[in-house]
């Protein structure tokens, strides 16, 4: 019995979750959206996703090798970022776009700031914004769903606009299942809702940011987006564009959102307000990604302002 026992301080038991498990859960939650993208846009969508993930993982590994650090690719965060980037691309982009995007995403946005958890901008959205600014025409030409795009053959455009730019008349059910033009992962709302349900059940995220974000967009567009007040088509507003993808998967990114409960509400509401402002007043038809990026920057401030009330300072608890 004189074997050395491990000592070490309490606690001695831990949750079964780990960073890798959580990241794998996010990947699983994104699979329905990817499947819908492949179904509506053809195998090219899958090819872009594979390229994007592979290059994201490769860049992260190379960075670690270059700086002689233990590799961090096993935490699966690069896979998540790569997949999210692909879902944020139109299905018609040339194959080098995800590679360039991944480079910017992993090296500039993530690793330069110290890797996972240290970056202050959402990597996938940062990369998307970079791509949109650099190659605006490539990044904003969409095809209609049902365009069975074949890998490696660039289509010469059956391009259409997304519903939000107001040119296409759309059936609502199509809006819901994703039978419309748009980025690979953003069109199918039902697939994204399934993903959200999975994340909530697995307790990867809480309901606060998605509900606050979508709720704010719904409320504001109901009030302001119609002729006169209080009759805007809010349902159309929340079902179109990248709102669900952004609110469920990108505005809930751990590193770039506040860690406090009330901070999550503030963050979600702020994203919603900015999205509606950009959609209704700004020049872009779609404001989700920019509003999330702007709120990412404000996140440390929100965190500070919403620090939980010190225990015992309240005197009486509110229920």
Partner 1 sequence: MASILYEVVRLTCPQVGICVSLLIFVGRKAMGISLLHLPLRFPTFTGGVHPDDNKRHTAHLKIEELSAPKKMIFPTLQNAGAPGEVVVEVGDSVKVGQLLIKQCGIISANHHCSVSGTVIAIEPHLHPCGSHVKSVIVENDEKYEVFRNIKPLGHPENLTKEEIIKAVSNAGIVGMGGAAFPTHIKLSPPSGKKINHIIINGAECEPFLTSDYRVMLEDTDELLIGCGALLKAVDASECIIVAESNKKDAIAKIKQNPIYQKNEKIKTAIVKTKYPQGGEKQLLSAVLKKEVPPGGLPADIGAVVVNIDTCAAVARSITTGMPLITRVVTVSGGAVANKRNFKVRIGTPVADAINAVGGFTAEPAKILLGGPMMGVAIHSTDIPVTKGVGAILALTEKDVGIKVTTNCTQCGKCVDVCPMNLMPTIIDRYCENFDAEMLEKLNIADCIECGSCTFICPARRDPLQRIRTAKKKINAFKK
Q: Which listed residue (90, 101, 258, 272) binds partner 1 by CB under 8 A?
A: 258
CB of 113 to partner 1, least distance (A): 11
297 lies in the site for partner 1, by CB under 8 A = no
Instruction: Give the interface size with partner 1 as a residue count (CB under 8 A).
Output: 65
- Which of these segments, 87-95, 155-163, 230-238, 279-287, binds partner 1 (CB under 8 A)? 230-238
**Window 74-133: residues binding partner 1 (CB under 8 A):** 75, 77, 114-118
CA 108 remoteness from chain centre? 18
Nearest to 30 by CA among 244, 206, 177: 244
List the beta bridge partners of residue 143: 159
Is residue 111 packed enough to be buried (19+ CB in 10 Å), middle (13-18) or exposed (0-12)?
buried
**CB-based contacts of 287: which residues, under 8 Å, 6+ apart?**
274, 275, 276, 277, 278, 279
- Cβ 96 to partner 1 shortest distance, Å: 30
**Per-residue b or e along 266-299, where b marks 16 or more CB atoms closer than 10 Å to that residue's CB:** bbbbbbbbbbbebbeeeeebbbbbbbbbebbeeb
Is 13 among the residues that bind partner 1 (CB under 8 A)?
Answer: yes
CA distance to 19, 24, 32, 248, per residue, from 198 (Å): 17, 12, 11, 11
Q: Smallest distance from the beta carbon of 189 to partner 1, in angstroms?
A: 12
Binding pattern to partner 1, positions 152-171, x when CB under 8 A?
-------------------x
Task: CB nearer to partner 1: give 14 or 152.
Answer: 14
Q: Which residues in this chain contact partner 1 in the complex, by CB under 8 A?
A: 1-2, 4-22, 72, 75, 77, 114-118, 171-173, 176, 206, 215, 218-219, 222, 230, 233-235, 254-261, 264, 303, 307-319
């Amino acid at each position: 019995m004189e074997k050395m026992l491990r000592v070490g301080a309490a606690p001695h038991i831990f949750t079964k979750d780990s960073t890798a498990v959580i990241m794998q859960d996010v990947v699983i939650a994104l699979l329905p959206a990817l499947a819908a993208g492949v179904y509506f846009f053809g195998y090219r969508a899958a090819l872009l996703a594979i390229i994007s993930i592979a290059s994201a993982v490769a860049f992260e590994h190379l960075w670690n090798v270059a700086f002689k650090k233990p590799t961090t690719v096993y935490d699966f965060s690069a896979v998540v970022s790569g997949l999210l980037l692909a879902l944020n691309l139109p299905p018609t982009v040339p194959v080098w776009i995800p590679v360039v995007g991944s480079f910017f995403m992993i090296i500039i946005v993530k690793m330069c700031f110290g890797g996972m958890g240290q970056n202050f901008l959402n990597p996938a959205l940062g990369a998307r914004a970079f791509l949109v600014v650099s190659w605006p025409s490539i990044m904003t030409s969409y095809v209609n769903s049902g365009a069975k795009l074949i890998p490696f053959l660039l289509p010469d455009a059956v391009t259409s606009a997304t519903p939000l730019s107001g040119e296409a008349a759309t059936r609502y059910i199509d809006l819901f299942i994703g039978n419309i033009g748009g980025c690979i992962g953003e069109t199918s709302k039902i697939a994204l809702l399934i993903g959200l349900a999975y994340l909530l059940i697995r307790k990867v995220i809480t309901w606060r940011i998605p509900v606050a974000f979508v709720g704010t967009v719904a409320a504001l567009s109901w009030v302001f987006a119609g002729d006169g007040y209080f009759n805007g088509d809010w349902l159309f507003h929340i079902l179109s564009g990248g709102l669900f993808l952004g609110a469920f998967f990108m505005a809930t990114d751990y590193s770039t959102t506040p860690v406090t409960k009330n901070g999550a509400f503030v963050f979600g509401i702020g994203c919603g307000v900015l999205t509606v402002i950009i959609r209704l007043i700004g020049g872009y038809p779609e404001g989700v990604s920019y509003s999330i990026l702007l709120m990412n920057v404000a996140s440390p401030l929100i965190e500070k302002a919403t620090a939980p009330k010190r225990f015992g300072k309240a005197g009486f608890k509110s229920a």
